[in-house]
């Protein structure tokens, strides 16, 4: 009978943190395998050594390289893929001979561990079982003596090898953070923390749980001394004393600002990490109550909801709170600069009363982008964006702008087409379109795109029924070049990148 493959998690380094089950299986196995660098030493083997017995065979799986360059035709990835394939073949030979193989892994076998590469290659051929281990993240939290997360806080774990921009985005949007695989990446990670405004909340933990354990503030660490087996931890702000100290610095009471953010068109996946970070950092959330219901306020945040028709008062209220030291997030849907709260805040902030209050705008995915993406690329050439609301401008101006957009042969997106009380405008819009463009002109009608009530229609001006439109609908009217392509793989709408002159009427 074939032997069994065991993936054994050894924990963060202290042999006493090896589980009872792991110790028993290590002692009973025929073959002990472990990865190591080219110097030949293995931290995993040193942790497991108290549980080894005489007569066991050992397979030392030595990495061909770590961070250096290689002349392998497939580069670093190709060299490592070959190494894992060769290593799997060595272990398979033992398993085929009926010998049980234990592959040792620091921490947990499926948590940033090399074991997973063997598991993917061997588990389909042999019986395989994983014994989980205590992760270095848990050990670091214990070393700090600080809860990583409490209540509804979330934890994000990242490799230090990730791109700097990706790290910054996660640092801004995350609550509690853990960054592994440091060593040569430490400087990049620390600079990303500084850029994201999180460095003053971060702790450095080296060789957690061992007699060489080291804990410092990230700001105090000499980067030349950082080994690979170290990590950075940012506990959630609820319990992190560094975050509390930073919040209590002199002058914070008057360091308020207003940040206008866009949640995107609806799905939480379309809220950008930058917007999520601004929401998490705010002391006060201000906005239309429907939009604020899409945001889960953290403990301690003040929520100020209001009706949708009081944009100017809402903007002044946000500026007043910021002038008193609050960090206010004014919440819009879609993009805050497109028929939303950014303009209202900017208009109010122009008043001399608020000249000293900082104002920033953080973009979001617009409804026009969401509807266009859902059907293909109708905005792939020049386009315009219009609103049918005549609450703040006369209808004659709206008609004139629609006529000019059509005359310029622009694709245009139409916001605010109708509401329960505003139904005449969409009817007049449909009549105007029928006068200005051929009946076969392409239109897209999108409602609640990305949400549970999503409805998309690819149609023509001649097929358009204004009675099917409400306030949650966005329309896109194509140019003379816009096409609908009916395909078995899914219909597409697009406006070609190259423009062909229209023939004279």
In a domain, 502, yes or no: no
pLDDT, tens only, 380-428: 999 999 999 988 899 999 999 999 999 999 999 999 998 878 889 999 9
* Mean pLDDT, all residues of the chain: 91
Structure tokens at 186: 């430490």
pLDDT at 15: 97
Per-residue pLDDT for 504 more than 70?
no
The answer to whether position 111 is within a domain reads yes
* Percentage, residues of the chain above pLDDT 70: 96
Phi, psi of 153 (to 5 degrees): -65, 150
| Mean pLDDT along residues 445-453 | 86
Lowest average pLDDT, out of 1-5, 280-284, 288-292, goes to 280-284
232, 178 Cβ separation under 8 angstroms = yes
Amino acid 273: pLDDT: 85
Given a cut of 50, is residue 254 above it in pLDDT? no
Residues 6+ apart with CB under 8 A from 177: 155, 156, 157, 158, 170, 171, 198, 202, 232, 233, 234
What percent of the chain is modeled with pLDDT above 90?
A: 74
d(CA 50, CA 16): 10
CA angle centred on 97, ends 93 and 99, rounded to 5°: 95
| Highest averaged pLDDT of the listed ranges 80-89, 262-271, 320-329 | 80-89
CATH at 240: 3.30.950.10
CA 301 to chain centroid = 22
By mean pLDDT, which of 2-11, 120-129, 495-504 is the weakest? 495-504
What is the per-residue pLDDT for 500? 79
pLDDT at 479 over 90: yes
Q: Give the integer Cα–Cα distance in Å for 492 and 494.
A: 7
259 and 216 within one domain: no
pLDDT of 505 higher than 70: no
CA distance 253 to 82: 58
| Domain identity same for 318 and 384 | no
Task: Give yes or no: residues 238 and 158 share one domain.
Answer: yes
- The reported pLDDT for the residue numbered 268 is 85
The pLDDT of 347-367, averaged and rounded, is 93
| CA–CA distances in Å: residue 126 to residues 59, 96, 121, 425 | 18, 9, 10, 69
pLDDT, one tens digit per residue, over 224-251 is 999 988 999 999 888 888 776 555 454 4
pLDDT > 90? residue 70 = no
pLDDT at 251: 40
| pLDDT class of 123 with cuts at 50, 70, 90 | very high
Reference 207, options 228, 188, 225, 189; nearest CA is: 228
500 inside domain: no
Mean of the pLDDT values across residues 430-436? 95
Question: Model confidence over 466-475: pLDDT tens digits?
Answer: 999 988 899 9
Alpha carbons within 13 A on the beta-carbon side of 482: 32
Whether residues 417 and 469 share a domain: the answer is: yes
**350 and 423, same domain (yes or no):** no
Give the model's pLDDT for residue 502.
Answer: 64
Angle value at C-alpha 360, between 355 and 365, nearest 5 degrees: 150
Is residue 129 domain-shared with residue 11, that is, in the same domain?
yes
356 and 258 housed in the same domain:
yes
Average pLDDT over residues 94-100: 97
Structural domain including 314 reads 253-362
Q: What is the pLDDT of residue 253?
A: 41
Query: What pLDDT does residue 252 have?
Result: 43
Residues 297-342: pLDDT tens digits?
A: 877 789 999 887 788 999 999 999 999 888 999 999 999 999 999 9
CB 315 within 8 A of CB 341: yes
90: Cβ contacts below 8 Å, ≥ 6 apart: 59, 61
pLDDT digits (tens, 9 = 90+) for 205-223: 999 999 999 999 999 999 9
Q: Cα separation of 244 and 252, whole Å? A: 12
Determine the Cα–Cα distance for residues 279 and 272; give it in Å rounded to an integer: 11
| Predicted pLDDT of residue 250 | 43
Query: What's the whole-model pTM score?
Result: 0.63
Does the pLDDT at position 67 exceed 50? yes
Q: What is the CATH number of the domain that holds 333?
A: 3.40.1010.10
**What does the block give as tokens for 210?**
């061992």
Q: Which of 246, 273, 301 is the last residue of a domain?
A: 246
The DSSP secondary-structure symbol of 334 reads: B
What pLDDT sits at residue 301?
Answer: 86
User: 464 and 406 in one domain?
Assistant: yes
Q: Is residue 107 scored above 90 in pLDDT?
A: yes
Regarding whether 309 and 264 lie in a shared domain, the answer is yes
Confidence band, pLDDT 50/70/90 cuts, at residue 503? low
Residues 266 and 380 reside in one and the same domain = no
Q: What is the pLDDT of residue 6?
A: 98
pLDDT of residue 433: 95
Co-location of 170 and 220 in the same domain: yes
Query: Which CA distances in Å does 63 have to 8, 121, 255?
Result: 19, 17, 52
| The total number of structural domains that make up the chain | 4
Residue 411 lies inside a defined structural domain of this protein: yes
Can you give the pLDDT at residue 244?
Answer: 60
**439 and 453: one domain?**
yes
Find the mean pLDDT for residues 133-153.
92
């Amino acid at each position: 009978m074939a032997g069994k493959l065991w993936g054994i998690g050894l924990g963060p380094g202290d042999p006493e943190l090896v589980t009872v089950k792991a110790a028993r299986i290590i002692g009973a196995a025929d073959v002990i395998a472990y990865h190591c660098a080219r110097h030949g030493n293995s931290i995993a083997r040193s942790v497991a050594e108290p549980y080894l017995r005489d007569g066991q065979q050992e397979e030392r799986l030595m990495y061909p390289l770590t961070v250096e360059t290689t002349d392998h035709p497939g580069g670093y990835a190709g060299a490592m893929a070959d190494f894992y394939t060769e290593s799997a073949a060595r272990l398979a030979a033992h398993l085929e001979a009926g010998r049980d193989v234990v592959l040792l892994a620091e921490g947990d076998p499926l948590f940033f561990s090399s074991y997973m590469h063997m598991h993917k290659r061997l588990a389909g051929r042999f019986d395989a079982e994983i014994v989980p281990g205590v992760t270095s993240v848990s050990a670091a939290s214990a070393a700090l003596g600080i809860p990583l997360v409490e209540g509804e806080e979330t934890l994000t774990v990242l490799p230090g090898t990730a791109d700097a921009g990706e790290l910054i985005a996660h640092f801004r949007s995350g609550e509690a953070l853990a960054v592994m695989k440091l060593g040569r990446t430490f400087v990049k990670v620390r600079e990303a923390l500084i850029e994201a405004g999180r460095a003053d909340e971060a702790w450095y933990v080296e060789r957690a749980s061992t007699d060489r354990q080291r804990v410092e503030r990230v700001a105090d660490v000499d980067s030349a001394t950082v080994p690979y087996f170290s990590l950075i931890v940012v506990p959630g702000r609820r319990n992190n004393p560094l975050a509390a100290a930073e919040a209590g610095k002199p002058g914070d009471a008057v360091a308020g600002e207003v940040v206008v953010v866009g949640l995107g068109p609806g799905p939480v996946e379309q809220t950008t990490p930058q917007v999520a970070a601004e929401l998490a950092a705010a002391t006060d959330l201000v906005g239309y109550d429907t939009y604020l219901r899409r945001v889960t306020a953290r403990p301690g945040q003040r929520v100020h909801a209001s009706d949708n028709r009081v944009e100017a008062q809402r903007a002044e209220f946000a500026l007043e709170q910021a002038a008193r030291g609050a960090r206010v997030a004014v919440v819009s849907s879609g993009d805050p600069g497109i028929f939303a709260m950014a303009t209202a805040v900017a208009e109010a902030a122009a008043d001399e009363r608020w000249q000293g209050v900082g104002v920033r705008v953080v973009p979001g995915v617009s409804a026009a982008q969401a509807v266009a993406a859902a059907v293909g690329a109708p905005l792939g050439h020049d386009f315009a964006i219009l609103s049918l609301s005549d609450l703040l401008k006369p209808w004659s101006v709206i008609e004139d702008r629609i006529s000019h957009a059509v005359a310029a042969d622009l694709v245009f997106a139409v916001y605010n087409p109708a509401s329960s009380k505003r139904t005449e405008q969409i009817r007049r819009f449909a009549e105007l379109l029928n006068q200005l463009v051929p009946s076969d002109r392409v239109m897209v009608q999108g409602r609640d795109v990305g949400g549970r009530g999503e409805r998309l229609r690819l149609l023509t001006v001649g097929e358009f029924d204004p009675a099917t439109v409400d306030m949650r609908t966005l329309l896109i009217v194509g140019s003379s070049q816009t096409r609908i392509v009916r395909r078995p793989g899914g219909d597409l709408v697009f406006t070609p990148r190259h423009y062909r002159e229209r023939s004279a009427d």
